Amino acid sequence: SAVISQKPSRDICQRGTSLTIQCQVDSQVTMMFWYRQQPGQSLTLIATANQGSEATYESGFVIDKFPISRPNLTFSTLTVSNMSPEDSSIYLCSVGTGIYEQYFGPGTRLTVT
Amino acid sequence: KQEVTQIPAALSVPEGENLVLNCSFTDSAIYNLQWFRQDPGKGLTSLLLIQSSQREQTSGRLNASLDKSSGRSTLYIAASQPGDSATYLCAGARGNTPLVFGKGTRLSVIA
């Protein structure tokens, strides 16, 4: 298994500002993903964070809005840019292990006012 | 594209009952299926992983099965307890691709 931590755990931000969420894993992992969970909804994949190259974004998500960095095999950041109230969600970091099991961090609860 | 459906959306049962949560998926080439638990406002806790070569997995009072031919998975919870109250999510993937999630079943176990 993998132990994943996220910072911050929650934040309240003003419209138009940006927030960077950090994800730290206790071991080196190949696969890292970022998901969003809007209120009352299930999880939607934002992007796959690739180490040393640009992230792979899902349909409906763009780099300008959700820039992602992954400088090494244990760390990634997701930035939510130019926020609006519609960005209020839980953002979750996830990692994939060699046997195709995914583990999730505790999430970052973002409220945009 | 993989789609995952969970039925029912919500379920309320008295304590002690055995119950079954259902999950169906459209891609029969699914490699693995995971069941998660999510408590309100919290992250996801992995409950069971069923790899494509397996038909079921058990952990304590939980048993999950996978039938790739019919595109279905079930999560069986025996002797339910109030502490089992949570949202249960199933998710599937091919190999090392990211999981695709269903919308979950919200379970309430009444004491």
* Reported confidence tier of residue A99, pLDDT bands at 50, 70, 90: low
Interface of A with B in 41-100 (CB under 8 A): 41-45, 48, 90, 92, 94, 96, 99-100
Does residue B27 register a pLDDT over 90?
A: no
Does residue B88 register a pLDDT over 80?
A: yes
Given CB atoms, is B40 within the 8 Å cutoff of chain A?
A: no
What is the average per-residue pLDDT within B54-65? 95
Distance of residue A41 Cα from the nearest chain B Cα, in angstroms: 7
pLDDT in tens, A102-112: 899 999 999 99
C-alpha distance from residue B41 to each of A9, A10, A91, A94, B14 (Å): 11, 10, 11, 17, 24
Does residue A31 register a pLDDT over 90?
A: no
Report how far residue B32's alpha carbon sits from residue B34's, in angstroms, rounded to the nearest whole number: 7
* Reported confidence tier of residue A32, pLDDT bands at 50, 70, 90: very high
Given CB atoms, is A103 within the 8 Å cutoff of chain B?
A: yes
Token pair for B29: 């080439």
